[in-house]
Amino acid sequence: MALYVSAQSSAVSKKSLFDSYPQQLTCSAEQLNQLFNSGKGGNALLELPGNLRLQGTVTHRISKYNQLETVGITLPAFDHILLSVTRRYDAQHQPVFAAQVMSPRHADGYLLNRQKDGTYRFSKISTDELMPVCSH
């Protein structure tokens, strides 16, 4: 006796949070550094071009090896999406950042990239492309 299971995929429409904001947003290392000034429960703000204000509460802060630190900030104005910023130090003791603003519940977000000249740029992303849905 064979058992057959049929699965139908239904496309779930996800809300876009950043439609009215630019594809690319520049940011300085100083702005990113300031996000590490607040402790857990504190308020943090990152003001970006295009009137994008990422403001929220620090929900977690993790330090490892005295050279790696991550701060997570919940953004109420954007359906409580998470801004996660990691800071590490290079061989010259200069901070290097990685960051993302994303949630699997939303269609878009931003990913931070360091440019060749040392500046930083948030690039708009499709979260479905970055976090594919498991079909099993």
The string of pLDDT tens digits covering residues 9-63 is 445 678 899 999 999 999 999 999 999 999 999 999 999 999 999 999 999 999 9
Strand partners, 26: 121
96 lies in a domain? Answer: yes
5 lies in a domain? Answer: no
Cβ-contact 101, 75 below 8 angstroms: yes
Percent of the chain past pLDDT 70, that is, above it, reads: 85
Rg of the chain on CA atoms, in Å: 18
Q: How many separate domains does the chain show?
A: 1
11 lies in a domain? Answer: no
92 lies in a domain? Answer: yes
Burial (CB count <10 Å: 0-12, 13-18, 19+), residue 122: buried
14 lies in a domain? Answer: no
Q: Is the pLDDT of residue 99 over 80?
A: yes
112 lies in a domain? Answer: yes
Across 85-106, average pLDDT: 93
124 lies in a domain? Answer: yes
What range does the domain containing 120 cover? 24-130
What's the whole-number average pLDDT of the chain? 87
